[in-house]
A = this chain, B = another copy of it.
């Protein structure tokens, strides 16, 4: 067996130790005589799995009891509807547009209320964040929405915007658990699991309890109500049990690795290696404003589409996979989530340097 370095934007690399444990337990979870895939979600064994996962996540991030932790389905895309359906009291919300996902979220919210765009960097193909210095947040806005890390474009909010006292709602799909965060700065956040957390098919939402309301918009499906999932501890119906089990293993792995501070240190070292190389390269260049650079997703180009293509193919042959940029941006993108080891980035940078030498 030969494992590759997988730079996919998601689904993405998982810790090898987690996969090895999952393989070992596939036919018999801890003497239960069954796989977690075969296990009743009402069994005490599964209840212990989901409760331990939630507690480990609370410990890692520092989530107090004033917030619910929900394990949901449907990806971030389903949250684009759930957020307005559940949180729009005044039917008004203010959105910052920093990429395709924020734009989709705003467009979905428009079905349910009056959406104001507070700022957008679309005119510059989202290569930087919009001006956040004095946002014209409406007095009666129900929340301010951001996509905190923009997977496609490689930007990240390094400082959260001043929402003028309104609740901040953040899609943190591609940066969650990559560094410490202060949950009290958020009304809610959510993350699709398939970047830093676990397999696709699980979404984690952390919602301040006072935002969880019964009087959601008329016509909100039962399954799309945070209150239903909160009241039932994410077991209103059969949850994506196997995915939650893998998430739990990742949380435990993160604890073993030293928690989010240690992850931040490791992620900064990985990103620095790659950005420092890009900043001195004569062949490659990063596409994003330096002050807005993501720690997780690093897009870069040569400026020559044919050469980009040749690079991606040559890298693949060396076991450096999924380096092709998103179809809307082109070029290359290296996603270097928690589970990407430093050795993977070292190998990438060495390969880029060799490719540069040959092609300059």
- Is A266's CB within 8 Å of the partner chain B? no
Task: Give the distance to chain B from A130, nearest Cβ to Cβ, in Å.
Answer: 25
Task: Give the distance to chain B from A64, nearest Cβ to Cβ, in Å.
Answer: 29
- Is A304's CB within 8 Å of the partner chain B? no
Selecting from A31-39, A54-62, A161-169, the interface stretch reads A31-39
Question: In the complex, are the beta carbons of B32 and A11 less than 8 A apart?
Answer: no
Residues on B with beta carbons closer than 8 Å to the beta carbon of A219: 111-112, 217, 219
- Is A312's CB within 8 Å of the partner chain B? no
Question: In the complex, are the beta carbons of B6 and A38 less than 8 A apart?
Answer: yes
- Is A201's CB within 8 Å of the partner chain B? yes
- CB interface residues, A 197-244, toward B, < 8 Å: 198-202, 217-219, 221-224, 236-243
Question: In the complex, are the beta carbons of B112 and A40 less than 8 A apart?
Answer: no
Considering the complex, give the chain B residue whose CB is closest to the CB of A27.
B19
Residues of A in contact (CB 8 Å), total 70
Question: In the complex, are the beta carbons of B242 and A200 less than 8 A apart?
Answer: yes
Question: In the complex, are the beta carbons of A34 and B22 less than 8 A apart?
Answer: no
Considering the complex, give the chain B residue whose CB is closest to the CB of A73.
B73
Do A201 and B40 contact each other (CB < 8 Å), given the known contacts A3-B33, A4-B32, A223-B75? no
Task: Give the distance to chain B from A35, nearest Cβ to Cβ, in Å.
Answer: 5
Question: In the complex, are the beta carbons of A37 and B11 less than 8 A apart?
Answer: yes
Dominant secondary structure of chain A at its interface with chain B: loop
- CB interface residues, A 9-29, toward B, < 8 Å: 9-14, 16, 19-20, 22-24, 26-28
Question: In the complex, are the beta carbons of B73 and A74 less than 8 A apart?
Answer: yes
Question: In the complex, are the beta carbons of B28 and A81 less than 8 A apart?
Answer: no
Question: In the complex, are the beta carbons of B9 and A35 less than 8 A apart?
Answer: no
Do A38 and B8 contact each other (CB < 8 Å), given the known contacts A81-B222, A194-B238, A238-B200? yes
Do A14 and B28 contact each other (CB < 8 Å), given the known contacts A80-B222, A201-B241, A238-B75? no
- Is A68's CB within 8 Å of the partner chain B? no
Residues on B with beta carbons closer than 8 Å to the beta carbon of A280: none
Considering the complex, give the chain B residue whose CB is closest to the CB of A12.
B38
Considering the complex, give the chain B residue whose CB is closest to the CB of A217.
B219
Do A26 and B23 contact each other (CB < 8 Å), given the known contacts A11-B238, A41-B11? yes
- Is A321's CB within 8 Å of the partner chain B? yes
- Is A78's CB within 8 Å of the partner chain B? yes
- Is A77's CB within 8 Å of the partner chain B? yes
- Is A299's CB within 8 Å of the partner chain B? no
CA distance A23 to B322 in the complex (A): 24
Residues on B with beta carbons closer than 8 Å to the beta carbon of A202: 201
Pick from B41, B85, B224, B242: contact of A243, CB below 8 A: B242
